[in-house]
Structure 1
Amino acid sequence: MYAVHDEFPQLPGLRYLNHAAVSPWPQRAVDAVSRFASENAQTGARDYATWLQIERRLRERLQRLLNAPSCGDIALVKNTSEALSFVAFGLDWRAGDQVVISDEEFPSNRIVWEALAPLGVEVVQVNLHSGNAEAALLAACGPRTRLMAISAIQYASGLRLELPRLGQGCQTRGVLLCIDAIQQLGALPFDVQTSQCAFAMADGHKWLLGPEGLGVFYCRSDLRAQLKLHEYGWHMLEHAGDYQRSTWEPARSARRFECGSPNMLGAMALEASLSLLEEVGMTEVERALQERMQWLLDGLLRIPHSHLHSPLNPQRRGGILTFSLDGWDNQALYQCLRDEQVICAQRGAGIRLSPHFYTNARVIEDTLALLQQLATA
């Protein structure tokens, strides 16, 4: 069973509130990578079959985390951007098709769709703060809308969308729903079936507590063959490993999106990190994270001249809280916090704080005390 203080032995004085960017690894991920490195040094790939078993466990953990119908729906990819590109350049677009997104998307979930302009595809950006966000997004879906691409939680404001409502609305309108889940997966429960999404993707290095360079791509089974492939290699074949076979076909599973050798080093780390999330349970992760978010929120509301740029309603937020202080330039405030070992990010309208379920109360109390000093200095 996990012990949080053992899993995250962070430096004394460090206030880590940047999980929406890059998370620290739990100790078990560090240990898994150390063992893997030692095995490589001592025996090379002698035990590759064992490594494959760990990779298989990773796929199973990701299937459970997303509540995907099958492990065959899960592809291991380099990052969210790669998965989004598989969708954007895999669908058979027609001139005049539209993609609906929000006007707050991280560049990965905007540029990939704007890159379709030479094919005659139009990107429609929707303001999420003009009223009801889900209603506004669905209202923007017209007869030419082919796909809605939306972040489950917006990276700067932290606004959390009601995904089942969007999924049902898209289903009714015959629109494919593509969810960038990077700011929700690992922070809150996420369910591709309840969301009725066609595609979902996320990196492992944020709320999943894993390394950069390895992510997950969910593709609904009835849509896999409809995505035109642009990457080919030995690993994406139905009969991968049969090197003498002269005929070939792409794998029927989502492995068709994995063209070459796997990131086995990343798989060792991410599988270990996901084992921690499973031990804790996503219901408890959400509860503990929301508790820490409320501590931060209540503290910021007591600080004079502070302004919150994130939702106050717990149902509308994940693990992101963005604020600003009167009299402080955001860049200067960010640098001051960094100098005091508060690890955060400058995003959107202010400074973004993002704790996780394990964040120590002292980290939050020290950060709020520092902000109180800065606001009244």
Structure 2
Amino acid sequence: MTEEFPLAPDLCHLNHAAVGPWPRRTAEAVARFAEENASQGSVGYPQWLGVEQRLRERLARLIAAESADDIALAKNTSEALSIIAHGLSWSPGDNIVGIRQEFPSNRIVWESLADRGVEWRALDLAASSDPEPDLLALCDASTRMIAVSWVQYASGLRLDLEGIGAFCRANDILFCVDAIQGLGALPFDLASTRADFVVADGHKWMLGPEGVALLYVRPELRDTLSLHQFGWHMVEHCGDFDRTHWTPAASARRFECGSPNLLGVHALEASLSLLEEVGMNKVWEGIQARADHLIALIDRRGFDLVTPRESERRAGILTFRVPGVASDHLYPALMGRRVLCAHRGGGIRFSPHFYTPLEVIDRAMETLDQIVRG
């Protein structure tokens, strides 16, 4: 797999939870697309739209959706969440249940509904030893939605989506999943999670570019979302420019108002082709093996693991702290020595992918040892 990831030999890339590197095939797909534009203009536009359709089909398979028509392509996770939040009808007194430690995109969007009388209720994970029951305990007769990240960006905690989804369906509560820290890392199944909405940008574990994101809306709910963006691309008879009467597309394309990001489409489609070739079960096995390896190295050094140890409670994120050493000192020192990581949750966050050589993880930890020793 090293031929697909020609990363510089002195770089320890352990930051897939932030921005992942492109596989070689993705870089080549973008180069071909650019060259075709430069030499042929838009002659190949019909073929480009074929790539867009393949991307929708790959994304549908990635989350086990029934049809590519269920997939909309948003610009990013924040836009996708905003389409949901400001598309639903709300009544004063409604509430949304979530998690206090969420990434801002999955907090601000729900807080923005306060002027409509909608309350955002947040579980403090720091005060919870069993997050799912505590999360569900915040719900009452006025709860319209539970909106959470599948995997918490700072701690790496993975939630039990099946349990939350079953509760939501049984209590007529909408369920919105920000899957950005899980899709591309481990298998996802709509039928078992019972999610009404799934959103995820492609630039992390899916190994694609920024600027293209998945937006899934359960088909039965599509018509219930009011639209606030309009244009030629979101209508049913897209391409019939002389038609004066229009209706929103019956498919999820109704959430895409204008021209698609075909450069990003070519890139993400190529990246997902690699994940499909490998298979998500094998991808997940590879990530688990690397996480286990890294946890053993963390334990050997006596560092404090922030991420849960249980395999069912984590995905690809491993956050840890070094006793007696400030993480805001370690982070720039690691980055300065070409260990690509993140400073999250008061600790150092490593996030290797399935292809990451174990030697890279070893070298990163040895570099950390050198920094700690001074």
Superposition TM-score, scaled by structure 1 size: 0.97
Which of 256, 265, 277 aligns to 2:263? It is: 265
Q: Within 2, Cα distance between the matches of 1:69 and 1:145?
A: 28
Match of 2:140 in 1: 142
* One-letter amino acid of the counterpart of residue 371, structure 1: L
Cα offsets for 1:310-334 (capped at 9, x unmatched):
1011110000011111232211100
The equivalent residue for 2:80 is 83
Amino acid at match of 1:145: T
- Give matches, 1:226-241, under 5 Å: 226-241=224-239
Pick the aligned partner of 2:187 from 186, 189, 193: 189
Aligned residue identity for 1:213: G
Amino acid paired to 1:83 = A
SS in structure 2 at match of 1:157:
coil
Corresponding letter in the other structure for 2:263: L
Letter in 2 for 1:320: I
Separation in 1 of the partners of 2:2 and 2:119? 50
Partner of 1:352: 349
Give the secondary-structure state (helix, strand or coil) at the position aligned to 1:134: helix
Q: How does 1:40-55 map to 2 (within 5 A)?
A: 40-55=37-52
Q: Distance in 1 between matches of 2:49 and 2:110?
A: 35
Match of 1:327 in 2: 324
Partner of 1:167: 165
Distance 2:360 2:26 in 1: 22
Partner of residue 279, structure 2 = 281
Match of 1:106 among 103, 107, 110: 103
**Residue type of the partner of 2:306?**
H
Among residues 291, 294, 308, which one is paired with 1:293 in the alignment?
A: 291
> 1-side partners of 2:270 and 2:2: how far apart?
17
Give the aligned partner of residue 314 of structure 1.
Answer: 311
2:208 to 202, 207, 210: 210
Cα distance in 2, alignment partners of residues 192 and 81 from structure 1: 21
1:371 to partner: Cα distance: 2.4
Shift of 1:373: 3.3
2:63 aligned residue: 66
Deviation at 1:104, TM superposition (A): 1.3
Q: Is the 8 A contact 1:309 1:349 kept in 2?
A: no
Amino acid at match of 1:206: K
Report the residue type matching 2:238 in the other structure.
A
Task: Output the CA distance in 2 between the equivalents of 1:171 and 1:327.
Answer: 46
CA separation in 2, counterparts of 1:213 and 1:371?
Answer: 33
Equivalent position SS for 1:352: strand
Partner AA of 2:5 in structure 1: F
Give % identity: 54
**What letter is aligned with 1:238?**
E
Amino acid at match of 1:352: R
Residue 177 of structure 1: aligned partner: 175
C-alpha displacement at 1:376, in angstroms? 4.4
Q: Could you say which residue in structure 1 is the equivalent of 2:240?
A: 242
1: CA distance between counterparts of 2:343 and 2:308? 17
1:116 aligns with 2:113: yes
1:254 correspondence with 2:252: yes
Instruction: Tell me the amino acid that sits aligned with residue 161 of structure 2.
Output: L
8 Å Cα contact 1:128/1:136 also seen in 2 = no
1:294 alignment partner AA: D
Counterpart-to-counterpart distance in 1, 2:190 and 2:14? 28
Measure the CA separation in 1 of the matches of 2:156 and 2:149.
Answer: 10
- What letter is aligned with 1:229? L
Q: TM-score scaled by structure 2?
A: 0.98
* Cα displacement string for residues 114-158 of structure 1 (whole angstroms, at most 9, x for unaligned residues): 000000000100123513211111111100000000000000000
Matches within 5 A, 1:17-56: 17-56=14-53
Cα deviation per residue 1:72-105 (whole Å; 9 max; x = unaligned)? 1100010000010011100000000000001111
Q: What are the equivalent positions in structure 2 for 1:146-161 lying under 5 Å apart?
A: 146-161=144-159
Alpha-carbon displacement from aligned partner over 1:270-306 (angstroms, at most 9, x marks no partner): 00000000000000000000000011110011113x2
How far off is 1:374 after superposition? Answer: 3.5
CA contact (8 A) 2:333 2:371 kept: no
Distance 1:199 1:172 in 2: 16
Residue in 1 that maps onto 2:4? 7
Q: Distance in 1 between matches of 2:4 and 2:148?
A: 33
Q: Is the Cα contact below 8 Å between 1:127 and 1:136 reproduced in 2?
A: no
Unaligned runs of 5+ in 2: none
Q: How many residues align?
A: 373
In the alignment, the residues of structure 1 paired with residue 116 and residue 82 of structure 2 have an alpha-carbon distance, to the nearest angstrom, of 15
CA distance in 2: counterparts of 1:355 and 1:283, whole angstroms: 16
C-alpha distance after superposition, 1:184-234 (max 9, x if no partner): 000011112211011000000000000000010000000000001000000
* 3-state SS of 2:175 partner: strand
Question: Following TM superposition, where does structure 1 have runs of at least 4 consecutive aligned residues deviating by more than 4 angstroms?
Answer: none
Q: Is the 8 A contact 1:324 1:330 kept in 2?
A: yes
Query: Is the 2:179–2:198 contact (alpha carbons within 8 Å) kept by the matching residues of 1?
Result: yes
Find the aligned partners of 1:374 and 1:43 in 2 and give their Cα distance: 52
CA distance in 2, matches of 1:95, 1:5: 55
